[in-house]
Each structure stands twice: as structure tokens, then as C-alpha cells.
Amino acid sequence: MSSPHTVRSLAAHVGGTLLGDGVDAAITGVNDLRSAGPGQVSFFHNTKYEADARASKASAILVGPKDAERFTFTRIVVDSPSNAFAKISELFAPPPIRDEPGVHPTAVVAPDAILGEGISVGPHAVISAGVRLGARVVIGANCFVGEQAVIGEGTRLYPLVTVRERCILGARVILHSGAVIGADGFGYDFDRATGRHVKIVHTGHVQIDDDAEIGANTTIDRGRFGRTHIGEGVKIDNLVMIAHNVSVGAHSIIVSQTGISGSTTLGRYVTLAGQVGLAGHLKLGDRSTITAQSGINKDVPAGAVLAGRHAIPIRESLKLEALVHRLPELVERLKALEEKVLTDGSNASPKS
């Protein structure tokens, strides 16, 4: 199958300028610098990858204006190599998976469920009593949607997603496989008389607003009462834990394996990097950022960038780390002083 694309035609497609030879080579795909071979286009946007760019076997590489003259390989100069690459990638992308229209004959759909226009319900999916699915909702194979759940227009559940009873999803939400929405919160009262933990019934639900995306195997527990709330446009990665009655403000980003304890509230545009842990009942201000693997146990002001185990500003955290790394030197200096002072001034023998 001959490709209709050449380096030249792709440069024209993204409004780029050609530099170097071989601009009429046929192009059949895209790839990263290291993986790309002849017939593929790649892109360079980070000096960290300069060696990879020089060694790349790609037929052409997209570069920014400032890098135009540093290289000799065939290059397409554009303002944003990343954006141009995305545009070119679309030309070679495999066709998206076509969702089978309608309800697969093996799906189990309650008679009173309300199904919008243009929905797709996959094999072995289960839609319980009282569920409402908006127009163009896609429910993947083997998903479970519990009683009276409401799912907005254009929302997509990939295969094997669980949405428990009475949860509410907005429009264009994406839930990746293995996500569990609305499991019971983790709450018990301890009964001293019997020495047993007594389960607290969680009668609340989870509400996920428009355009949010929830990663694979992430869990979002239902509220004890009221709701656990994921705001509009929030993006949550895989294997994240969101406890009962948490509220995540609009457009926040939560990276993989982070955990948020019960009733903590995040403002808008908060960023939690990977493997962060937040204690319960905290408030994180708008646009605050917590760096990877940090542990936060007090409120965070708007705009703060905190790091480490104790919610201190990243600058201070880096300084303390540097000092910890200098401890061997500091101990030597202390010892030298002791020898000097104690030898000079007394008969006490210095400690080592």
C-alpha cells in the first residue's frame, strides 16, 4: 500500500518550512525519536533528547525555529513541534473503534431503564432498574451500572467498569476499565463493649461532572451521606483512591496511585503528582500543587507548591534535603571544633 504522504506534503499540511535533503520521501507513519525508522516522522522538543534526535532513523523530524540550524537531518521547522506532530499523527492514526449501535443481545437491561438516542451497550453489560443513560452514551462490555444511576450525554464507560447505585455522571465523562465508582466509604464505629468495628452505612453517592476522566482501576467511594464530588474537567490517572465525601475542584489533575482521605476538599486547578497522600478533612486552595510522593496533613494555601512529608514549600524542602546530604560534612566540622575548643580550653576528651 503506497502512502499518499511525503515529507513535503506533511510540511505543507502543518505550515512548516523544509530544511535538509530527502523531502520527497514517502511517509507511512509517526514514531518517537528512538523508535522511528525510515518512512516515519518524529519530533524534537526537549534538549534532553538531542542525542536521540541525531541518532534517529526517522525520514524527517519536526523541530522548533530555535533548533532549525543546529541539526543537519531532514527537518520540518514549525512553531510547535508537539502540536504539528499531533496533527500529522492524526493522518496515520488507526481508525477509531466503531461502537456497535444499540444494545447487544447479551446485555441485561432493566425494563424501566431509560436509554437515550444513539447509545451503545456492549456484550454482557448490566443496566439496573431506574438507570438513565443520556444520548450517545457508550457502555463497554461487562460493565455494571447500578440502580438509579444517571449517566450524561456522550459519556463512555470502557469495558469492566463498575458504577454503583444512584451515582451521577455528567456529559462526556470517560471511565477507564476497572474503575469502581461508588463503593462504600471506609467507615466504622468501634463498639468497645464487643470489641468489634461496626459498619457505618454509606447512603450517599458519587457525582462526576462534565468532561472528567477517570483512570483504569481507580476507585471513588460514595459519600457517607451527600456526595463525593469530582468537578468539571478533572483528570484522574490510574489506581487513584478518592475516599468518601471528598470534593475535587474543577480542572484539577491527580496523577497515578495518589490517595485522598475522607472529606478533604480540593480547590480548582489543583495538581497532585504521583503517589501523593492527603489526610482527611483538609482544604487545598486553588492552583496548589503537591509534588510526587508527598504526604500532606494540613491545609494548603492557594497557589502553594508543597513537597515532602510535611507540607512545606518546595524551595524549603529542597534546602532541607541538601542540608541532610551535607550532614557528614557538618559532623566533621563539629568534631574539629570540639577538638579545638575542648583540647584548648579543658581536659574533657572530645566525643567522636
Q: How far apart are CA 239 and CA 145, in angstroms?
A: 20
Taking the C-alpha atoms of residue 260 and residue 277, their distance in angstroms, rounded to an integer, is 6
Which 4-23 residues touch a copy of itself, going by CB under 8 A?
none
210 binds a copy of itself (CB under 8 A): no
330: contact with a copy of itself by CB under 8 A: yes
Contact status: 199 vs a copy of itself (CB under 8 A): yes
Copy the grid coordinates of residue 29: 507513519
Gap between the Cα atoms of 212 and 170, Å rounded: 8
Q: Does 342 bind a copy of itself (CB under 8 A)?
A: yes
Q: How near is the Cβ of 88 to a copy of itself at its closest, in Å?
A: 10
Q: Sign of the CA dihedral 146, 140, 210, 241?
A: positive
- The least distance separating a copy of itself from the CB of residue 228, rounded to whole angstroms, comes to 11
Amino acid at 283: K
Rank residues 19 and 40 by Cβ distance to a copy of itself and give the closer one.
Answer: 40
Catalytic site residues?
244
114 near a copy of itself, rule: CB under 8 A: no
Q: Looking at 27, 151, 243, 272, which residue binds a copy of itself (CB under 8 A)?
A: 243
Whichever of 6 and 89 has its CB closer to a copy of itself, that residue is 89
Chosen residue from 274, 287, 302, 314 binding a copy of itself by CB under 8 A: 274
- Cβ burial of 47 (10 Å; 0-12, 13-18, 19+) is exposed
Among 226, 286, 287, 314, binds a copy of itself (CB under 8 A): 226
135 binds a copy of itself (CB under 8 A): no
**Candidate residues 73, 157, 251, 306; the one interacting with a copy of itself per rule CB under 8 A:** 251
Binder of a copy of itself out of 8, 177, 286, 313 (CB under 8 A)? 177
Instruction: Give whichever of 19 and 158 is closer to a copy of itself, judged by the CB atom.
Output: 158
Q: Is 93 in the site for a copy of itself (CB under 8 A)?
A: yes
In the complex with a copy of itself, the residue whose CB is nearer, 70 or 326, is: 326
DSSP string computed for 113-179: -EE-TT-EE-TT-EE-TT-EE-TT-EE-TT-EE-TT-EE-TT-EE-TT-EE-TT-EE-TT-EE-TT-
**Calpha distance 9→91 (Å, rounded):** 12
> DSSP for 80-92?
-HHHHHHHHHHHH
Our finding on whether 344 is near a copy of itself (CB under 8 A) is yes
Residue of 211, 248, 267, 289 that binds a copy of itself (CB under 8 A): 211
Element (H, E) at 315: helix 314-325
Phi first, then psi: give them for residue 18, nearest 5 degrees.
-90, 140
The residue within the footprint of a copy of itself, chosen from 133, 141, 157, 168 (CB under 8 A), is: 141
- 192 binds a copy of itself, rule: CB under 8 A: no
Q: Which is nearer to a copy of itself, 19 or 206 (CB)?
A: 206
C-alpha–C-alpha distance, residues 346 and 135, integer Å: 88
